Structure formats: structure tokens, C-alpha cells
């Protein structure tokens, strides 16, 4: 059986093109996630597709980056599939891990996907650093009123009470208290 897996990064994106390609390539069952591919966390349909697959089945994706964006995750997924006797087919990059050439391409393209992700992160950090230097980036606005938390603690309120009052975790109360100016 061919099991299709599609992933888009956000709810604003549409997986229809991937589903169409997977269907044309014989996918009989479909699993779709709307989440980032930088980690396996938060992708319940991927986990479900892997659990669903049986020996002799193949997981089919359109592109390797739809499956994962790090070599570590790709290797872990590949090992998990191999351990179950399940092949991986990547339609747009003509990869089929049931062949030696397919396994080689899988590993090479996985490394390239991770490289692209690292480059994107570097560019983002460079842009943030430049914006900070130009005074255009101030970071996320504070969502916790540290002065109010410190005042409540100084008034003798217990950290758990303060946390409930300000709708924050107790650890936040302790962090704010430890960041208090001397």
C-alpha cells in the first residue's frame, strides 16, 4: 500500500497540490499536517502515518522537505521506516529508498535541506542584528509587568498567589524576582 504524507507550514497554505500529486502516484491513504518541518514535534499525522504503515508499504511524499528539514530527523524517520520494512518514495525528486541509488539521493538531499534551513536562520539573525543596530527592532513587547509582580511580592504575597493574579507561571514570578534591580 502507498501511504501519502503531505505537509504545509501554516494554516494559510494549501496542501491540495501535494495531495493531487500523491493521489496520481497511487497513494491510497492520506495523512496531512499543517506545521513546521524543522522538527518532528507537533506533527501528529506524520507519527500516525508511520504507525499506520506495515511491512511492504511505502510512505509517499512530494518533496523531501515536506518530510523533514534536518538530516537528523530524516535519518530517524528513514531508520524507523526501514525497521518496519517500509519504503520511502519522494515523487518530485525521484527517490525510492528500496534502491541503493534512492538511499544515496535521500541522504544527499536531506543534507541540502538542512543546509538551506541553516542559511535561512543565518539570514534571519543577520536581518534582526541589522534592524537592532538601526534601532528598528526592539524585540517582542513585554507581556509581563515585572514592577507589579515585584511590588506584590514585596507586599508579602506568595509566589503562587502572584502567579495566579497575573496569569503567569510561578517560574515567571521567580525569574522576575531574581531579575530585580539591586
Catalytic residue list = 9
- Cα(132)–Cα(106) distance, rounded to whole angstroms? 39
Counting every residue written for the chain, the total comes to 182
- Cα(58)–Cα(128) distance, rounded to whole angstroms? 42
Q: Is 68 exposed, middle or buried (0-12, 13-18, 19+ CB in 10 A)?
A: buried
Q: Which residues pair with 4 in a beta bridge?
A: 30, 60
> Phi and psi at residue 61, in whole multiples of 5°?
-130, 160
* Residue 6: strand, helix, or coil: strand
Q: Which of 125, 63, 51 is nearest to 93 (CA)?
A: 63
Contact 12, 5 (CB under 8 A): no
Amino acid at each position: 500500500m502507498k501511504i501519502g504524507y503531505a505537509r504545509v507550514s501554516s494554516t494559510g497554505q494549501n496542501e491540495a497540490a501535494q495531495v493531487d500529486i500523491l493521489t496520481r502516484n497511487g497513494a491510497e491513504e492520506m495523512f496531512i499536517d499543517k506545521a513546521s518541518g524543522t522538527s518532528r514535534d507537533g506533527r501528529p499525522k506524520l507519527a500516525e502515518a508511520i504507525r499506520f504503515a506495515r511491512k511492504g508499504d511505502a510512505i509517499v511524499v512530494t518533496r523531501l522537505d515536506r518530510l523533514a528539514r534536518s538530516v537528523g530527523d530524516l535519518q530517524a524517520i528513514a531508520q524507523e521506516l526501514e525497521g518496519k520494512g517500509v519504503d520511502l518514495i519522494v515523487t518530485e525528486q525521484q527517490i525510492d529508498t528500496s534502491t541503493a541509488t534512492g538511499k544515496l539521493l535521500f541522504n544527499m538531499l536531506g543534507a541540502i535541506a538542512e543546509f538551506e534551513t541553516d542559511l535561512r536562520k543565518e539570514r534571519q539573525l543577520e536581518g534582526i542584528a541589522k534592524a537592532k543596530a538601526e534601532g528598528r527592532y526592539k524585540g517582542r513587547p513585554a507581556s509581563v509587568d515585572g514592577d507589579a509582580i515585584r511590588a506584590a511580592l514585596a507586599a508579602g504575597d506568595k509566589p503562587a498567589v502572584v502567579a495566579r493574579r497575573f496569569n503567569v507561571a510561578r517560574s515567571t514570578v521567580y525569574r522576575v524576582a531574581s531579575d530585580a534591580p539591586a
